[in-house]
Amino acid sequence: MSKEKVIATNKKAYHDYHILEKYQAGIVLTGTEIKSVRSGGVQLKDSFAKVEKGEIWLYKSHISKYEMGNIYNHDPERKRKLLLTKQEIKKLGEKLKGSGETLIPLRMYLCNGWAKLELGLAKGKKLYDKREDQARKSAKRDIERAMKQG
């Protein structure tokens, strides 16, 4: 039994992208970073991941400085290495080459004390797709509201 505690989610990812596949990756953190993650100081809003030289790196994720940290505190927006198997990295590298797809972090969570990141292989939505999703959500909300009343 694995206990999961969700630290941060990227709600904007589901609004702006079609999620094609999901991957679970470990994340390499320093001592003050993991303490900040456990206290919930994570923001994934504008972050993305890239494959570089056979490794996957996470960019623009914000892990706030640890309040109790000292001079060895971390840089909040540094790039962080993600841990996946070689086969997964190779497969993702091939899928990302010139296809218009990108790797977006969907959520960060703690699983048995380890920080994990759920990555999504995503393709950008067009404006009409976003409007269609918005209309579908509001229609569903109206139906649920009507069923509760009647």
Rounded CA-CA distance 11/90 in Å is: 27
Phi and psi at 56, nearest 5°, equal: -110, 130
Q: What residue spans define the domains of the chain?
A: 4-149
pLDDT band at 99 (very low <50, low <70, confident <90, very high): confident
- Is the pLDDT score of 1 beyond 60? no
Q: Which of 71-75, 128-132, 142-146 has the highest mean pLDDT?
A: 142-146
pLDDT tens for residues 26-54? 998 888 888 888 888 888 888 888 888 88
**From CA 15, how far away is CA 109, in angstroms rounded?**
20
Q: Report the C-alpha gap between 119 and 9 in whole angstroms.
A: 11
Q: 3-20 pLDDT, tens per residue?
A: 888 888 888 888 888 888
Class of domain 4-149: mainly beta
Distance CA 82, CA 114 (A): 13
